[in-house]
Homo-oligomer: A and B are copies of this chain.
Amino acid sequence: MNARKTNAEAYLRMYRQMVRIRVFEDNANQLYLSAKMPGLTHMYSGQEAVAVGICEVLTRDDKITSTHRGHGHCVAKGAEFKEMFCELLGRAEGYCGGKGGSMHIADQSNGNLGANAIVGGSMGIATGAALSAKRLGRKDVTVCFFGDGATAQGLLYEVMNMAALWKLPVIYACENNGYSEYTKTAEIAAGSLPARAEAFGIEAFKVDGQDVLAVNKLAERLVARCRKGEGPFFIQLDTYRYHGHHVGDINREYYRSKDEEALWKTERDPIVNFGRWLAAEGLATPEELASIDAEVGAEAGAAVAYALAAPFPDASQVGRHVFTDMIVA
Contacts and interface: CB of A to CB of B under 8 A. Distances in A.
Contact of A154 (B157, B191, B198): B157
B187 A191 contact: no
Interface stretch (A33-41, A82-90, A158-166, A297-305): A158-166
Copies in the complex: 2
Listed from nearest, the 4 A-B pairs whose CB atoms lie closest are A154-B154, A164-B190, A191-B201, A195-B199
A192 interface: yes
A196 B199 CA distance: 5
13 contacts: A153-B158, A154-B155, A154-B158, A156-B157, A157-B196, A161-B190, A165-B187, A190-B200, A190-B201, A191-B198, A191-B199, A195-B198, A196-B200
Nearest to A157: B157
Contact of A188 (B165, B189, B191, B192): B165
Nearest to A189: B161
A144 to B, nearest CB: 15
* Residue picked from A156, A160, A188, A191, most chain B C-beta under 10 Å: A191
A158 B68 CA distance: 21
A327 interface: no
A152 interface: yes
Interface residues of A, number: 24
Contacts of A198: 191, 195, 199
Interface of A: 152-158, 160-161, 164-165, 187-192, 195-196, 198-202
A158 B164 CA distance: 19
A199 to B, nearest CB: 4
Contacts of A158: 152-154
Contact of A191 (B152, B155, B164): B164
B192 A199 contact: yes
Nearest to A200: B191
Contacts of A191: 161, 164, 198-202
* Residue picked from A160, A190, A192, most chain B C-beta under 10 Å: A190
Given A161-B191, A164-B190, A191-B202, 8 more contacts: A152-B158, A153-B158, A165-B187, A191-B200, A192-B199, A195-B195, A195-B198, A196-B196
